Amino acid sequence: MWQAFSPPTTVELTELVTRLWRGDDDALNRLQLLGAEAAPAVPALGDAVRQGGKRLRLDALSVLEGIGHEALPAIAALREAMRAADPDISVAAANTLGAVGPGAVPGLIEDLAHADWRVRYAACLALGAIGAPASEAVPDLVRCVEDPREDVRSRAVWALGEIGDHAALEPLTKLFGHAEGSMALRITETFARLGSQQRSVGEVLRDRLSISDEDLTLSAARALLELRFHEEAAVWALITLLDHRDHDVRLEAILILADAESKAAPAIPALLAARADDNEEIRSFATVAISKIRPEYLR
């Protein structure tokens, strides 16, 4: 009988995979607990991904994700699964390829040019999950930033931030100059993750501190403070938002100022005024922010 504390034999693994095909939850749990020790079952799990119904495919993908790098022999099956019309299977396959790691990168780069946008999207998701070891995909991901489909563009920008290669900064900076809405927000988040020391990025972000788009102002201000560029301009933009009619906008501005700590000292008068806000949450977090920025004002 298979036991949790002993390495599984080939016969025991075969039995567990057979039970997985039958929908046995206990077999699924045991295979997931084994992690990389279930690697000898990778070919059989790859077959399950190709041939099973939805539940079996998702179960097999879950086990392969836990196996991680050792699931490399299943790459072909995983890439096929990324092409599934069912988004649950496609996304699960992408996450599993992300767990497989660098060995999956060459195939994923090919998938970035696939005719189906859903495959391109899933490939971006997988490459972002792989992170820095997927740096060779940066030029292709940069091209995906101009993809006709917004979902792909947004996920490509996210992936570039997860990979963290500064080669993406110049094209993203050019794109940011005319980006709008969710894409502009995604790019500001990526700039912050890259931790750039290029002043051109800071200047572009500063130019987008526009109160006509509150979400973008908040995102740009947060990125500037994290990058340590144009911090004074970012703080004053946030101070302006402390009078905004929307409670969520005021609250987010307060939270960003609190994280900025002493750099947000010019916001103290506005934060003191916020302690009299009609909203209890605003009053509470304004007090927290003051305690982090200039605690002597609370004595």
Domain regions of the chain by residue span:
1-100, 165-241, 243-299
- Alpha carbon 229 to chain centroid, angstroms: 24
Predicted TM-score of the model (pTM): 0.69
Distance CA 57, CA 65 (A): 12
pLDDT at 5 over 70: no
Q: Is the pLDDT of residue 199 over 70?
A: no
Q: Which of 144-148, 209-213, 220-224 has the lowest mean pLDDT?
A: 209-213
- What was the pLDDT predicted at 2? 47
**Three-class secondary structure of residue 200 per DSSP:** helix
What are 10-22's pLDDT values in tens digits? Answer: 889 999 999 999 9
Q: If you search the block for the tokens 């500064």, which residue do you land on?
A: 166
d(CA 244, CA 230) in angstroms, rounded, equals 22
Please give the pLDDT value at position 1: 43
| Residue 176 confidence (pLDDT) above 80 | no
User: Length of the chain in residues, anyone?
Assistant: 299
What average pLDDT does the chain have?
A: 89
Tens of pLDDT, residue by residue over 220-277, are 888 888 878 888 999 999 999 999 999 999 999 999 999 999 999 999 999 999 999 9
3-state secondary structure of 108: helix
**256 vs 211: which has the higher pLDDT:** 256
Tokens 């996450």 belong to 95
pLDDT at 123 over 90: yes
What confidence tier does 190 reach under pLDDT thresholds 50, 70, 90? confident
| Selection from 96, 88, 140, 144 nearest residue 121 by Cα | 144
* 34 pLDDT more than 50: yes
Asked if pLDDT for residue 198 goes beyond 70, the answer is: no
CATH class for the domain made up of 1-100: mainly alpha
Mean pLDDT value across residues 45-73: 96
CA 135 to each of CA 6, 131, 167, 171, 173: distance values in angstroms, whole numbers, following the listed order: 38, 8, 9, 15, 19
pLDDT for residue 212: 75
